[in-house]
Structure 1
Amino acid sequence: MTTRRPTTLAELDAAVSECRACPRLVAWREEVAEVKRAAFAGQKYWGRPVPGFGPADAAMAIVGLAPSAHGGNRTGRMFTGDPSGDVLFRALFDVGLASQPTSTRIGDGLELRGTRMAAPVRCAPPENKPTPAERDTCRPWLARELELLRPTLRTIVVLGGFGWQALMPVLATAGWAVPSPRPKFGHGVELVLEGTSELRVFGCYHVSPRNVSTGVLTPLMLREVLTAAARSAGLN
């Protein structure tokens, strides 16, 4: 994190986008942005760390893993422009948390209702696999984001086991009491944490193409978790 501690989410987002702390991730994200995928050859890639997306007074957060090489690393917005985002935003729209069912680019008119998206790792990693050291180096960004959201944040939906494991120490840093041993991830798991305010954390299988295509996660399963979390956050 920068030497000056961000005091607003806008400051945090700007600082995140300039981070160059992990040499392997910097090299990979910039190589992908230069070489590009043939389908996006005419587009300019973001090629930088991807900040969070959503209102500064969000009552609910969605935490994934990291931006995809030709999704968030291309568009500059979390879960945008890739198959995982297609599934997630369709579900968010269906349960009333997104203004439209698609997310293609910054400036496409999409707005999230009371919900903010973030990730433990802000750069696209090779093979979608950040190292533990990269995860830990990136941890202060998410911790500060949750600290800034804390006055209004009531629920978090965590997509996948990696995000769950990465989030637990972040929650402790951000001011919530995390049990020891740390709770295990599972789809439909609900965890209630005490702190300056109560926080409910919901586990959900990741919206990866593999999980969706094999039926490990169905649209109905995703909508059910999002609906439960939104209800706990007072959003429906």
Structure 2
Amino acid sequence: MGVATEGEDERVHRPLLDPAATAAAAPDLDTLDELVTHCRACPRLVRWREEVARVRRAAFREQVYWGRPVPGFGPADARIVVVGLAPAAHGANRTGRMFTGDRSGDVLYAALHEVGLASQPVAVSRDDGLELFGTRITAPVRCAPPENRPTPGERDNCRAWLARELELLRPNLRVVVVLGGFGWQAVLPVLHAAGWPVPTPRPRFGHGVHLTLPSAAGGRDLHVLGCYHVSQQNTFTGRLTPAMLQDLLREAARLAGIEAR
């Protein structure tokens, strides 16, 4: 699963161990998304995601798990990017689409639909007809990690995919919504390297934190919004309510120039 064989296209073979070189050469998002799915750069994550796909949860025993790295989801001209943490073992690692098939995704997509950024409030599979409007969802780590805890080295191995994704989105990108402290720590260095200088010391994460980063290349400013992660730990305890999430997404839409409900 996900292993390239002799004679396969070189674009598929190279990312197995060297995502940095391969991501940088991707000419567009469709190519990048395909390349992501073949990455095997982190042995621990490869073993875990494939073991989960083999054993499966009882409720999904009859389903065929995706069991590979998960690409971003959303249009190539997105003005808003939502950055999470990593695929859930029995969510995106099962369905192959970010935040699809788990309770965190239920909360996120319901809020996106409520404010007019998604075509429907539920996400159950890659072929359920869901569309995002002006919005793309991605993560700094593309494989499901044990206990939802990727290591710093795994995060760094994966950084090239996010860096190239943001670079390709740059012509239209206005707002980055970061879900949780891990994503915040991962995305700020990527933005800085991409030409949006981040202040030093780097601003601390918090719900509702709003950074405005001027483009060093003379382009548009980028708005970065912090949001508590849509994990069950936050949503079940009321730390993050649907109203809080919807308000923040409406603000993201306003900053991006998208009419929200």
In 2: Cα distance, 1:174 partner to 1:66 partner = 21
Alignment TM-score, normalising by the size of structure 1 = 0.99
**2:44 matched to 1:21?**
no
Q: What is the correspondence of 1:108-127 to structure 2 with a 5 Å cutoff?
A: 108-127=128-147
Q: What is the correspondence of 1:97-112 to structure 2 with a 5 Å cutoff?
A: 97-112=117-132
Q: What is the correspondence of 1:52-63 to structure 2 with a 5 Å cutoff?
A: 52-63=72-83
1:197 maps to which residue?
220
Q: What is the correspondence of 1:200-215 to structure 2 with a 5 Å cutoff?
A: 200-215=223-238
Say which SS state the counterpart of residue 201 (structure 1) adopts: strand
Candidates 32, 36, 43, aligned match of 2:56: 36
**CA offsets per residue over residues 83-117 of structure 1, 9 Å max, x none?**
00000000000000000000000110100000000
In 1: Cα distance, 2:195 partner to 2:28 partner = 17
**2:243 matched to 1:223?**
no
Ranges in structure 1 where 5+ consecutive residues have no aligned partner: none
**2:175 matched to 1:155?**
yes
In 2: Cα distance, 1:230 partner to 1:2 partner = 31
In 2: Cα distance, 1:197 partner to 1:140 partner = 23
Percent identity between the aligned chains? Answer: 67
Alignment TM-score, normalising by the size of structure 2 = 0.89
Say which SS state the counterpart of residue 178 (structure 2) adopts: strand
**2:167 matched to 1:144?**
no
Say which SS state the counterpart of residue 211 (structure 2) adopts: strand
CA shift for structure 1 position 197: 2.1
Extract structure 1 runs of 4+ deviating beyond 6 A.
none
**Contact 2:20–2:161 (CA<8 Å) still a contact in 1?**
no
CA shift for structure 1 position 2: 6.0
Ranges in structure 2 where 5+ consecutive residues have no aligned partner: 1-18
**2:77 matched to 1:84?**
no
CA shift for structure 1 position 49: 0.3
1:94 maps to which residue?
114
In 1: Cα distance, 2:156 partner to 2:21 partner = 17
Count of residue correspondences: 236
Candidates 1, 9, 28, aligned match of 1:8: 28
CA shift for structure 1 position 174: 1.9
In 1: Cα distance, 2:222 partner to 2:88 partner = 28
**Contact 1:2–1:15 (CA<8 Å) still a contact in 2?**
no
**2:202 matched to 1:182?**
yes
Say which SS state the counterpart of residue 212 (structure 2) adopts: strand
**CA offsets per residue over residues 173-199 of structure 1, 9 Å max, x none?**
222111111111000000000113210
Say which SS state the counterpart of residue 191 (structure 1) adopts: strand
Bigger Rg, structure 1 or 2: 2
**CA offsets per residue over residues 20-51 of structure 1, 9 Å max, x none?**
00000000000000000000000000000000
Select between 169-178 and 12-21 the one with higher mean Cα deviation. 169-178
What amino acid is the match of 2:253? A
